[in-house]
């Protein structure tokens, strides 16, 4: 297997990559070996977080973007989009039931355009053009977007219900 396209730092046997975090304080944190990157302009929307992450990783060949409010994205989906990357294309996008989603891989060729983005759209427009590869990630996690406690509770209840049905069939 190829090594990941993002820069890695070794410490205590773990590796890490950067991810933007909309924090208001000047503190940095590390979670599971990934170092957060502060995004002071977080109120500007998705593009601000994406710009902060790309600025921190500008030496990388490519970056993987996964959203923090999609807790059911699978590491297997990340592996699938990384496995499909081609530096000659703008990037790779996961699809679920044919609908584009995350994770995505953004190649270095998109970084300057990403750093010029503004608003709340992220890299969607850059990946809508020709050349973007699409990888079906059906069965490799779910793209549920959880923005509120109510959405989280409803998703957990649905998962518990599916688990109960599965146990009854078995």
Mean of the per-residue pLDDT values for the chain?
80
Per cent of the chain over pLDDT 70 is 80
Is 73 among the domain residues?
A: yes
Query: Which pTM value belongs to this model?
Result: 0.73
Is 4 among the domain residues?
A: no
Q: Is pLDDT at 12 greater than 60 in this prediction?
A: no
> From the CB of residue 116, how many other CB atoms can be counted at a distance below 10 Å?
9
Q: State which residues form the domain around 29.
A: 9-169
CA 39 to each of CA 47, 87, 90, 115, 145: distance values in angstroms, whole numbers, following the listed order: 10, 27, 24, 13, 21
Q: CB–CB of 138/97 below 8 Å? A: yes
Segment among 21-25, 34-38, 148-152, 155-159 with least mean pLDDT = 21-25
Is 3 among the domain residues?
A: no
Q: Nearest 5°: CA angle at 105, between 103 and 109?
A: 155
Is 141 among the domain residues?
A: yes
Is 104 among the domain residues?
A: yes
Is 78 among the domain residues?
A: yes
How many domains in the chain? 1
Is 74 among the domain residues?
A: yes
pLDDT score, position 31 = 61
pLDDT single digits (tens) 75-132: 999 999 999 999 999 999 999 999 999 999 999 999 999 999 988 888 988 999 889 9
pLDDT score, position 152 = 85
pLDDT single digits (tens) 17-26: 444 544 444 4
Is 41 among the domain residues?
A: yes
CATH number of the structural domain spanning residue 81? 3.90.550.10
């Amino acid at each position: 297997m190829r090594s990941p396209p993002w820069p890695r730092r070794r410490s205590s046997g773990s590796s890490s990559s950067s991810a933007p975090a909309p924090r208001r304080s000047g503190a940095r944190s590390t979670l599971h070996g990934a170092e957060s990157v502060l995004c002071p302009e977080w109120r500007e929307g998705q593009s601000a977080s994406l710009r902060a992450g790309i600025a921190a990783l500008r030496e990388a060949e490519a970056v993987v973007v996964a959203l923090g409010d999609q807790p059911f994205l699978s590491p297997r989906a990340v592996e699938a989009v990384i496995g499909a990357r081609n530096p000659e294309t703008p990037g790779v996008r996961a699809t679920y039931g044919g609908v584009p989603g995350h994770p995505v891989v953004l190649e270095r060729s998109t970084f300057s355009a990403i750093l010029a983005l503004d608003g709340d759209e992220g890299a969607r427009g850059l990946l809508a053009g020709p050349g973007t590869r699409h990888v079906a990630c059906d069965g490799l996690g779910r793209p549920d977007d959880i923005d509120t406690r109510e959405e989280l509770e409803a998703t957990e209840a649905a998962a518990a219900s599916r688990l109960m049905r599965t146990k009854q069939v078995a």
